[in-house]
Structure formats: structure tokens, C-alpha cells
Structure 1
Amino acid sequence: MITNSHALLWLLSCQLLLLLAKVGAKVPAIIVFGDSSVDAGNNNFIPTVARSNFQPYGRDFTGGKPTGRFSNGRIATDFISEAIGLKQTIPPYLDPAYSISDFATGVTFASAATGYDNATSDVLSVIPLWKELEYYKEYQKKLKAQVGENKSNEIIKEALYMISLGTNDFLENYYAIPGGRSSQYSIGQYQDFLVQIAGNFVKQLYELGGRKISLGGIPPMGCMPLERTTNLMQGRGCVEEYNNVASEFNVKLKNLAEKMNKELPDIQLVFSNPYNVLLQIIRKPSAYGFDVAGVACCATGMFEMGYACDSRNPYTCTNADKYVFWDSFHPTQKTNRIVADYVVKNVLSDFL
């Protein structure tokens, strides 16, 4: 029997396929920078506790493999890659199982628990954003040696660059560390500080040849199960303060994108905002085929992620497709697919 939610997903997929068939894919590669929302396993190869390369992570991935993605399966950038006619998954740059021939059509330099702010990456000893850029410079040299200078330049110019950062800067740094950034900046000043870093990063990508760039917004972070668990005074509802901060920050990122499009010749900088679509899913989960939005699938669903979300926990749900969130911080594969479809149809179609 086809439910309304299944029919909605089917219709969205058909619309996406028709769109792609009409315009034709023009993107030869996807190159990704960011945090756990887009890390496909780079943290497996650095000394940090911010990992997910163990069960039950990846249980709905091909072969039930825990790749290091913070999900029960694929993440949004995997679905975006597939939607624009490239491979079904984007490999992590630090994984020795892959070579430059694999990376030529897509690669992620992302590191779970990192942020725009270097101080954020220091919290769990992960890869800072400046290091992700250094890896990209190394990648460019390898790509040139693999396919030649002309082909390499073409890939670099026509590739889609995706940036997904910011949530950890607020939740793992600003609000979590007394005497740190919160003692140096007001929340508005800290937003401006991060936006400045984002702008400088986009300029560096531009100077390195990137032209098609997606600057990602941050989700309604006050609705993550971890934040709701600690919001006892409001009956474990969403923390509106955090949602307001996310919304304000996204406006500033959008304004940055508009400004840089006027300043940098030939750049195509789009703002990809997951906030509204995710908030809609959280507020009306049944409309998208979900049963649960307030807690996550893994363990008790209230506070566990990473090593606290393991295969020995007896409370983990049996069907992750019924849950908006996989662990207390990260969406399920199904949620990632819906968000990816939305972004491709409403934002990234400019590049296709």
C-alpha cells in the first residue's frame, strides 16, 4: 500500500529526475569542505574521539558498513552527487583505500566536530578548516599529475564546491566552553567573526580556481535531540534561543553570498539553507513519513552520539526510517535524502 508520505517522496524524486533530464548535468566533480554533516570518514584516520566507524552507524549503508559517516546510511552530499549524475557516495580524502582517480569526480575533506573557528577544531582535536584547504591544494597537484593540466583546470573550474560548517562553532564551542569565545564576543559579534572567516575561505577557493560554490547554512540546532533533552524548563521542546541564533547567522551568510557575487567576477556563489526544510520535517514529521522527531533512533535517543551510540545499547530503534534523527546530533539517511532533494531542486539547479 502506498502511503501519502511515500507518494510525496516518489513525486519529489520524479520531479528531480525530470529536472536533471531537462537541463543535463554540467558538474564533473563535487568537492566538499565541512564538519560531520559532510564527513564521510576522514576522522577515522586522525587521533580523535569524534568518530563513527563502528556499528550501529552505517547499518543501512551498502553492506551495513560503518564508514565514518554520522548516519545510519548515506549523508546529504552522497545523495547530491548521485542526483547530478555522479557516483552514489563521495569518498573521504584521507582514506588510503581510494586514489586520485576516485577523487577526480568527488572528494570530501570534511572533519566531524570542526568549524569555521580554529578554536572549535581544537575541542576534539579534529581537522581545522585551514588544513582542509591545504589538503585541497595537495589534491589539485595530484589531479594535475593524473589527468593533465588542461583537464585538471577544467575540473577545478566546473566542479561544485560545497561548504557545510557552523553548528559546532556555536554548540561545541561558544555555548559549551565558559570563559572562551563567549567571554570575548557577544553572540552577534561571534556570528560576524564566523562570517568573515567564511568570506575569506570562499575567496581562497576562488583564487584556487573554484567558481561554482555552495555556502551552506546551519540547521535549527535548538531542535536537535541533545538540546531538547536538556531543555527541561520548556518540556523538552526546541531551544528557541539556539534556533534564533541559527536563523540570524543564516541571514548573514546569505547576505555574504549576495555581496561576494557582486565583488568576484564569474563566481556563482549560492546559499544552500537546510533550516526551513528541516524545521518543517521536525514540526510535521508525519507529513514526511516519520513517527518521531523529538528523540533519535540510536540508544535512548536523548544524548548519545559517537562512542555513546554503540551496538551494545539495547534501546536503539529497529527502523531508522521512522526517525528524523539518527543520533542526538545527526539526521537519519532518510532525512538526508529529503534535504538533499530540496537543495538540488531549489538551489543547485543553477549549476546543472
Structure 2
Amino acid sequence: MAYMWITGLTIFLTQILTLLVSECRAKVPAIIVFGDSSVDSGNNNFISTVAKSNFAPYGRDFPGGYATGRFCNGRLPTDYLSEAFGLKQSIPAYLDPMYSIQDFATGVCFASAGSGYDNATADVLGVIPLWQELENYKDYQRELEIFLGAEQEKEIITEALYIMSLGTNDFLENYYAIPGRRSQFTIQQYQDFLIGLAEDFVEQLYALGARKLSLTGLPPMGCLPLERATNFMHPDSCAKEYNDLALEFNGKLEQLVAKLNNELSGMKVLFANPYDLLLQLITAPSLYGFENAEVGCCGSGTFEMGIMCTPDHPLTCTDADKYVFWDAFHLTDRANQIISSYLFKDLKSNFL
């Protein structure tokens, strides 16, 4: 009798899950991604740049155990969000010839590691600037129309969830690393410059048919292992200046989101803010089952990322699930999963 009850409950829960997944599919038929290494699923593999991660130990915990070009040991937040919306488990890179428009119809990534809102940021490592990400998206629209027909293409473009995740490189890789922008702007002026670029990009997306957008804020940049390692005034501590900057910029992004929602008729823009949760993962890692939040798993965890994160580094950890950071700049698969679960709650309530 108990067995029959458990079996019945299992069938009932399966039916509920199926209905929820069907609802997700119906209301969000695809996820379309723009941004930097926080969401790049491998586009940089196919351009001439040193900003690559298509080699071990990257991807060692990705399904199949191979490096995809994701700056992670496994999946990215956008991959987990795709799965949560009832779509595929991972979002393919637009430039990857292994995939076709049939694959991209339910999700595609245009992001490029090392990019930013500012075109000058992409120039630092010779990666895809945001304007080119948009041009690639226009090509995608044309391909999708040929593949599905105008009516179905329009439905996907309109109902798709667009995710933007970038901005960190504009400050850490560009403004504070290279004198060019610092000679032109104060830090407050540069923030406003970036906000203007973000606004222009969203307006262009809107003109192209986008109606559901999640705009991701900055993380606590001063707590990235690389910034802690180079915080010579307060060794191994988070760089307060960068964290305060991230909070200030996030406030400006939030204001921009309110402005866009007021001005762009029929469009819903959500400000996705990972700052507080990430800071909690970093300052109280044991609450989430982590053992280390100060350094990355790869190498010494203080400076290594990209080509410096090599498979034969003797210090690379054996269990990345114990670490918040995978390398000196990027989160582990497990941290990405926690972040995506947190963000999905708001995404679901706003777009389903």
C-alpha cells in the first residue's frame, strides 16, 4: 500500500514538473546572451586572442569532461538558467561551427570573454566588442527567419529572454589598468559613459524586437582573488574601493532599468543583482558548504586564469566544489549553480 502511494506521488510530481517545464517553454522559447567571460560559452575559441579557456583543466566538470571555452570548471549561470526554464542544459556559442541555427533556435550566446560596454575594453585583448555582438545577433535573426519563417521567428525573438552580463572588465581591465580612459574621464564620468552605452544597446535590442531583458549588475569586484592578491595596502583583504565602485555602478544600472521600463513600451527589463549573494558566498562560505573563498582552485588561485591556468600546475585543487572561485577571476560550477538558482526566482516571477 505504501509502495503504491509513493509511486502515485512520484507520478503526480512528475506530471507537475512536466507542466511547469511546458509553461517555461511556452513563455520563454529561447535564451539569448550578450556579455563577457561570465557568460561566454566559447565564442573566443574562434577569434585571434589570448583570452581563451578551451583547454584543460577548464571544463573538467562540464558534462563530458571537456573544455568548451567557458571560463569555469563546468557550466555557467546562463547554462543553469536555460535548464531551469525547461530548455537545454547548456547554451551554445554562436561562432561554434559544431552548432547550427536549429541548435540556436532555443538559445544562443554572443558573449566574448574580455569584452565590456566600452569598445576600448574589447580592444585590450582583441576580443569581440559589444557592437559586434549585436551585429552577430542581427545575422542570427536573419538565419532564424529563413529556418523557421517570419511568423515563428518573430515569436521567438519577442518571447525570448535576453541576458546581459558585463561591466567588470571595463573597470579592472580597462579604466584602472590602462591610462587612456583615465585621462578622459573621472571614475564618475566613466560610469555615466558606460550607462549611456548600456542604454543605447538596450534600445537597439528593443528596436530589433526584444521585449524581455535581464541586465546583470557587477559582483563585489574587490573580492576577486586577483584583486585580493594585488591589494598591497591590505594584503589578502577585499579591495574596498572596487567593491564600493561596484555598488555605486549597480545603483546607476538600477536607475537605468527603471528609466527603460518607463520609456520602452511593452518591454520588461529586470535588474539582476548578484552582489549581495556573492559577497555572502565569499565572506561566509561555510554557510553554503564551501571551504575556500579567498583563492581559486586552479594553480595558486591568486593570479592564474586563462593561459596561466594549466593542467600540470601542482597546486590545482582536486575538488572544485569546495571553492567559490575556479581561477583568479571566475566562479566554480557550483558557485554558478547557486547564483543562477538565486537569480531564477526573480526571472521566473517576472517573465513567466
TM-score range, shorter chain: over 0.9
Q: 1:255 aligns to what?
A: 255
Q: TM-score, normalised by structure 2?
A: 0.93
2 CA distance for matches of 1:213 and 1:147? 23
The corresponding residue for 1:21 is 20
Letter of the 1:287 counterpart: L
Moved more, 233-242 or 20-29: 20-29
Residue 61 of structure 1 corresponds to: 62
Equivalent residues of 2:31, 2:107 under 8 A apart: yes
The one-character-per-residue Cα deviations of 1:29-62 (angstroms, maximum 9, x if unpaired) are 0000000000000000000000000000000011
Whether contact under 8 Å (2:57, 2:310) holds in the other structure is yes
In structure 2, C-alpha distance between the alignment counterparts of 1:183 and 1:342, rounded to whole Å: 39
Q: Is the 8 A contact 1:271 1:347 kept in 2?
A: no
Equivalents in 2 of 1:343, 1:163: separation in Å? Answer: 13
**CA contact under 8 A between 2:21 and 2:85: conserved in structure 1?**
no
Separation in 2, partners of 1:185, 1:270:
28
Shift of 1:234: 1.1
Distance 1:309 1:163 in 2: 26
1:118 aligns with 2:101: no
Q: Which amino acid aligns with 1:246?
A: A
SS in 1 for 2:270: strand
The one-letter code matched in structure 2 to 1:37 is S
Q: Given residue 294 of structure 1, which amino acid in structure 2 is its aligned partner? A: E
The TM-score with structure 1 as length reference comes to 0.93
Q: Which amino acid aligns with 1:87?
A: K
Flag as ranges the 4+ runs of structure 1 deviating above 6 A: none
* Residue in structure 2 matched with residue 97 of structure 1 by the alignment: 98
CA distance in 1, matches of 2:95, 2:195: 27
Structure 2 stretches lacking a partner, 5+ long: 1-12
Correspondence for 2:49 = 48
Aligned to 1:86: 87
Gaps in structure 1 of 5+ consecutive residues: 1-13
CA–CA separation in structure 2 for the residues paired with 1:263 and 1:122 = 32
User: Which protein is bigger by CA-based radius of gyration?
Assistant: 2
Asked if the contact 1:218/1:274 (under 8 Å) is kept, the reply is: yes
State the shift of 1:312 in Å.
1.4
- Once the 2 structures are TM-superposed, how far is the Cα of residue 23 of structure 1 from its aligned partner? 9.5
- Secondary structure in 1 matching 2:341: helix
Tell me how far 1:231 sits from its aligned partner. Answer: 1.0
Q: Decide whether the 8 Å contact of 2:116 with 2:129 is kept in 1.
A: yes
Tell me what 2:278 maps to. Answer: 278
Which digits, 9 at most, give the CA deviation of each residue in 1:264-295, with x for residues without a partner? 11000110111111001101000001000000
2:7 alignment counterpart = none
Partner Cα separation in structure 1 for residue 188 and residue 42 of structure 2? 33
2:164 aligned counterpart, secondary structure? strand
How do 1:122-141 and structure 2 match up within 5 A?
122-141=123-142
Q: What is the percentage of aligned positions where both structures have the same residue?
A: 63
- AA matched with 1:140: Q
Which residue does 2:32 correspond to in 1? 31
Matched letter for residue 65 of structure 2: G
Deviation of 1:349 (Å): 2.7
The CA distance in 1 between the partners of 2:52 and 2:275, in whole Å, is: 25
Number of aligned residues = 336
Q: Which has the higher contact order (CA 8 A, sep 6+)?
A: 1
SS at match of 2:249: helix
